[in-house]
Structure 1
Amino acid sequence: MSIPADELHGILDFLRAAESLKHTTRTSWTSTGTPETVAAHTWRLCLMALVLAPRFPGIDLGKLLRICLVHDLGEAIGGDISAVLQEGAPSKADQERRDLLQLVAPLPASAQHDMVALWDEYEQAMSPEARLAKGLDKLETILQHNQGVMPDDFDFRFNLQYGARYTTDDPILRVIRAVLDEETERRAQERSRALEREQSTEHRPHAP
């Protein structure tokens, strides 16, 4: 089966534009202290879905993976906005959907429709797969924050409530969430103790 030349060029143009996700960073850092990219987050989200899929009876793994793959595609245009900065800001979802429409424009009409439909399904949590993808997305983010070399002013305890409504319905997600919340609290306490030591050293009188 061949591909019409115009469709082939459109697909390649789309893939070239999506490459920016390889260097578009998120407000997270890896365990080596380098900024995490959107593509890296999406990769491990898909890996989580694949590994945990047998624990979710009735879930269509293919559909779940497709939703995971497209859920942040719009960030290839507009970049990522952290959950903290989203509060009180214009709708991230509206902008991201406009960016997604721009990104997929070179694709054949059927592919455009499929990708936007999957993104809408995710954003509106319209199906079991979409709701599960949202929950896994939040958990992967928290996992990375706990594993990464985060900046000194990072608020670990923000994550204790982050995405809670998407990680409480499914028993497997609840178990994972409980483990990650314990890690989060431990990192928050470690950060607090480190700051206290620094402040103590700064205020310690120097010997004459």
Structure 2
Amino acid sequence: MTTQPDIDPSRLAAIIDFLQAAEKLKDTLRSGITSNGRAESTAEHSWRLCLMAMLFDRELAGYDRLKLLKLCIVHDLGEAISGDVPATSQTPDDGRAARERTDLETLCTPLPDDLRREILGLSDEYSGGATPEAQMVKGFDKLETMLQHLIGRNAADFDYEFNLTYGAQHTEKHPLLSQIRQLVDAATRERITHGA
């Protein structure tokens, strides 16, 4: 085993400061409900998104898998400051994207320049759907949300019809996403027809 030199103490402190601030994502609640009936956190959503990317590794052989995981981790990180806006409340002109970008910049303030640039760059890549990896993560993100809607102990008046159109432009970008979408849509229709 090779011995690595100690990390610069100021770099170490900056990374720890960032990690402590990012911990707020654990308490950032989303509108999704878990199978046990409690609100899920954005951190939990991001974890399951990473799990999806990992489980479909074989099907994503031509993709940069490390980048996929990094995009999954970073995609909602800005929500640690201002919180999540439920998908049903989002509109194209709500300013959410700009606010989340500003929040992410604030969150990344303590980081060394190289790490700050990397995280902000990954966030921009995801937001713009600039690469095949970003497009795949956007599709997985929508599908993870819909899967949570299907398994969650939702209120009696939950609008399952929402799932049938949610994120369609992102889930048609790859055959794997489309195939998963077909299963999710079928389960959604079943839930609409037969109830919880």
User: What's the counterpart of residue 199 of structure 1?
Assistant: none
- Residue 147, structure 1, aligned to residue 151, structure 2: yes
1:170 alignment partner AA: H
User: What's the counterpart of residue 205 of structure 1?
Assistant: none
User: What's the counterpart of residue 39 of structure 1?
Assistant: 43
In 2: Cα distance, 1:5 partner to 1:152 partner: 53
Larger C-alpha radius of gyration, 1 or 2?
A: 1
In 2: Cα distance, 1:86 partner to 1:42 partner: 19
**1:88 CA displacement:** 6.1
Further displaced range: 53-62 or 107-116? 53-62
> Structure 1: which 5+ runs fail to align?
195-208
**1:163 CA displacement:** 0.4
Q: Is the CA contact 2:136–2:173 (under 8 Å) kept in the aligned structure 1?
A: no
In 2: Cα distance, 1:183 partner to 1:149 partner: 15
SS of the residue 1:158 aligns to = helix
Query: Which structure 1 residue ranges, 4+ long, deviate > 3 Å from structure 2?
Result: none
In 2: Cα distance, 1:12 partner to 1:60 partner: 27
User: What's the counterpart of residue 163 of structure 1?
Assistant: 167
1:6 alignment partner AA: S
User: What's the counterpart of residue 73 of structure 1?
Assistant: 77
Identity of aligned residues (%): 46
User: How far does the alpha carbon of each residue in 1:55-85 deviate from its partner, in whole angstroms, 9 at most, with x for none?
Assistant: 1231010011011110000000011001111
- Residue 58, structure 1, aligned to residue 62, structure 2: yes
User: What's the counterpart of residue 126 of structure 1?
Assistant: 130
**1:98 CA displacement:** 0.3
Mapping of residues 3-18 of structure 1, within 5 Å? 3-18=7-22
Tell me which of 30, 34, 43 is aligned to 1:30.
34
User: How far does the alpha carbon of each residue in 1:142-173 deviate from its partner, in whole angstroms, 9 at most, with x for none?
Assistant: 00110110122221111100000111121111
In 2: Cα distance, 1:10 partner to 1:119 partner: 20
TM-score normalised by the chain length of structure 2:
0.94
- Residue 186, structure 1, aligned to residue 194, structure 2: no
Mapping of residues 94-109 of structure 1, within 5 Å? 94-109=98-113
In 2: Cα distance, 1:88 partner to 1:139 partner: 20
In 2: Cα distance, 1:81 partner to 1:6 partner: 35
1:149 alignment partner AA: R
> Structure 2: which 5+ runs fail to align?
none
Aligned residues: 192
User: What's the counterpart of residue 82 of structure 1?
Assistant: 86
Q: Is the CA contact 2:135–2:170 (under 8 Å) kept in the aligned structure 1?
A: yes
In 2: Cα distance, 1:97 partner to 1:150 partner: 30
In 1: Cα distance, 2:194 partner to 2:25 partner: 32
In 2: Cα distance, 1:44 partner to 1:88 partner: 26
SS of the residue 1:126 aligns to = coil
